[in-house]
Structure 1
Amino acid sequence: MIIERADADDLGVILALRTEASDWLAQRGINQWAVAWPNPEEQNHRILTSIAAGETWMIRDQNEATMGTVALDTSSDPQLWTPEEQAAPAMYMHRLIIRRKHAGLGAAVMDWACHRAQRLGLHWLRIDRPELLLPGRCGESTPARSGSMTKQRNVRDRQLTSSQPGSHHISRLQYA
């Protein structure tokens, strides 16, 4: 797995990944990403802005074929996180999309994001799509607030075992 910063030329691939994921979800009765938000032009602008800021990443295989994409930034959504939570150093994960033939790779991408957050001195990896987190990968949890379903991983409590790739798991998980 190769993770590298996206460039503007990757926009078409990112949009294709989004469409693939949306179609797959729709087959399961889930209406996520079915419509560009708030419209295609704004969506594209938002993604290109994230690319220009160095916040969007492409996940590729050894042959440079795209397996997925993810965006990471430090901007919190005040509708999802309390002022106390926003004050804690955190990285926020957006647009994690993995091609179906690489299902399961998302966990490795999240582990990579935890490492990245820790290297930047951030204590949390946060995501607002809890179904993307695998059951049993993290420890404690608390009930959701105000109907919002968000999760975070504490990157300080991570246990790394260098002899076992992929064995670094986050020990604390919280619903926001």
Structure 2
Amino acid sequence: MTTTPRWNGDRVAFRQATPAQTDDVLEVLDEAAGWLADRRIAQWPARFEAAWIEEALARGETWLAHTDDGIAGTVTLDRADPLWADTPGDAVYVHRMAVRRRAAGLGAVVLDWVQDTAGRDGTPTVRLDCVRANDRLRAYYASHGFAHRGDVPVTGAPGQRGAGGPVTWVSRYERTRPPA
């Protein structure tokens, strides 16, 4: 039996985003990216481009978190990530997780929902990464039960992985829950 997640008294509903909701996803990502940029945290680019999220939307991997006040967050769940190619085991990979500033604190609900969703599919392990220099986010993941699984270099602009470009070191984190 699944329960409806709650945050600050509001029900939280997770709905698969469609390509028609590209602007909704970008609004959440850009708000979070702007907040990071204002704090000089090079986690993501200052703004996202639609082309960066369109494939995940078309594959049904991107979700929107809705509260009573409307869209409050987004997260993309992948079944593979080349950043973890050296690590065996089935996992769900969290990408582009962001919440609106008015929903600060919702991230923990999102992470628990991801873990529950993965577990229902028989995958108890959730993996994610962040820029190694982002000490606050690293501490956040650790405080939510994620274990540090090493640092690796990636190429490309912040938030974008690709051949060439600057090298950024990222920290990998993993959380596994035993089956219920």
- Assess same fold via TM > 0.5: yes
Q: CA deviation at 1:35?
A: 5.0
Q: Which residue of 1 is the match for residue 144 of structure 2?
A: 137
Structure-2 separation of matches of 1:3 and 1:127: 19
Ranges in structure 2 where 5+ consecutive residues have no aligned partner: 1-11, 132-136, 153-168
The Cα RMSD (Å) is 2.3
1:148 aligns with: 170
Q: Is the 8 A contact 1:107 1:134 kept in 2?
A: no
Deviation at 1:67, TM superposition (A): 0.2
2:130 equivalent to 1:121: no
Residue-by-residue CA offset, 1:105-139 (whole Å, 9 max, x unaligned): 01111000001111111131000127164443327
Report SS of the residue matched to 2:84: coil
Q: Distance in 2 between matches of 1:82 and 1:53?
A: 21
Greater strand share, structure number: 2
Contact 1:91 1:122 in 2 (8 A): yes
Distance in 2, matches of 1:125 and 1:10, equals 25
- 1:45 corresponds, among 43, 46, 51, to 51
Matches for 1:62-141 after TM superposition, within 5 Å: 62-63=68-69, 65-77=70-82, 80-83=83-86, 85=87, 87-129=88-130, 131=137, 133-138=140-145, 141=147
**Residue 114 of structure 1 aligns to a residue in which SS?**
helix
- Specify the alignment match of 1:60 in structure 2: 66
In the alignment, the residues of structure 2 paired with residue 48 and residue 143 of structure 1 have an alpha-carbon distance, to the nearest angstrom, of 29
Residue equivalent to 1:33: 45
**Deviation digits for residues 29-48 of structure 1, max 9, x if unmatched?**
11322254xxx3xxx23422
| Structure 2 CA distance for aligned equivalents of residues 71 and 143 of structure 1 | 21
Q: Name the structure 1 match of 2:159.
A: none
User: Residues of 2 paired with 1:19 and 1:25: CA distance?
Assistant: 10
The 1-side partners of 2:113 and 2:57 are apart by 18
- Contact 1:88 1:123 (C-alpha < 8 Å) held by counterparts: no
* Secondary structure in structure 1 of the residue aligned to 2:53: helix
* Aligned residues with identical type, % of pairs: 29
Question: 2 CA distance for matches of 1:11 and 1:142?
Answer: 32
Matched, 1:24 2:29: no
Shift of 1:2: 0.8
SS at match of 2:174: strand
Deviation at 1:104, TM superposition (A): 0.8
Equivalent residues of 2:16, 2:63 under 8 A apart: yes
Q: TM-score, normalised by structure 1?
A: 0.73
Q: Which runs of 4+ in 1 moved over 6 A?
A: none
> What SS is found at the alignment partner of 2:45?
coil
